[in-house]
Chains A and B, each alone.
Chain A
């Protein structure tokens, strides 16, 4: 029982149902749309104390708003999941990536930072991320979210295909 709940990866439908329930639950309890990436604006405001006009707007008026607490909660929830699963508190591994590619640490840092840069900038220009557009938006049958999600997936597949051909296909660099 412990093994099935806390160690083995859950079946897709269990995770799918529990994540999907968040959409109506957040509306019912807080009248709020599910979303994560807007909160990165709050984090930038907190960390950089930036005076960028965008961060002075109404959306970020409450610097330590609920989005920051949602983000902190997510880290905490995964921290608990990792500990009950029996993971080490710190690990340098990224399954597959670090197994196939033995790069110097700086190489990993640059690669993942670059991916993150695309994600952060792209999410803001696209107006949302996987949770806000792909899950919340499509669940509410929003046309813009359907279009954006198709583009997310197509370009994710292109990036993965290139990675597989040149780096992760086993050939290495």
Chain B
């Protein structure tokens, strides 16, 4: 239960920051993709660099978590269709002006339309599981 409460707290932090930095704003996302306003691109790039520095720091400190267990980082593997999936995701990101994280921020802010984006995402997730049960190659 402590773990879940900890993640609840991290989630509150993440959602708050995403909203405050404008990452959940349709216009900001759209204009990153058209190149008109790179605010969000800088946010993502800074996050990557800070994340990398933080991971280097943990490694330098012995690569251990708070409880002294070695930190395990798994690289996500690419399947044959991963690139096609990424393309689909990109189109959705550009269309809906949200990703699986920022749609939650939009909903928290009170944007009703984001509920449709979320419903679509849940349906898409279900569809993946359904296709996987009929055609396991989708993941291979």
Name A's B-contacting residues (CB within 8 A). 6, 9-10, 12-31, 33, 36-37, 40-41, 43-44, 47-48, 50, 52-55, 64-67, 69-82, 85, 87-98, 108-145, 147-149, 151-161, 163-164, 168
Contacts and interface: CB of A to CB of B under 8 A. Distances in A.
Interface string B117-139: 11111111111111011000011
Contacts of B127: 117, 120-121
Given A116-B119, A125-B85, A73 B75 contact: no
Interface of B: 3-28, 30, 33-35, 39-40, 42-55, 57-58, 65-67, 69, 71-79, 81-114, 116-130, 132-133, 138-139
Q: Looking at chain A's contact residues, is the secondary structure mostly helix, strand, loop, or mixed?
A: helix
Contact of B50 (A20, A126, A168): A20
B23 to A, nearest CB: 7
Contact of A74 (B15, B40, B72, B133): B15
20 contacts: A9-B21, A15-B43, A18-B13, A19-B21, A19-B50, A76-B12, A76-B108, A78-B109, A88-B110, A111-B95, A115-B97, A116-B103, A117-B124, A120-B92, A122-B86, A123-B121, A125-B86, A131-B100, A155-B90, A156-B90
A159 B33 contact: yes
Given A20-B47, A81-B16, A95-B27, A159 B93 contact: yes
A75 B21 contact: no
A65 B11 CA distance: 13
User: Which residue, B45, B100, B123, B139, has most C-beta atoms of chain A within 10 A?
Assistant: B100
Contact of B92 (A43, A66, A98, A119): A119
Contacts, number: 502
A69 B75 contact: no
B88 A121 contact: yes
Contacts of B108: 74-82
Contact of A155 (B39, B44, B87): B87
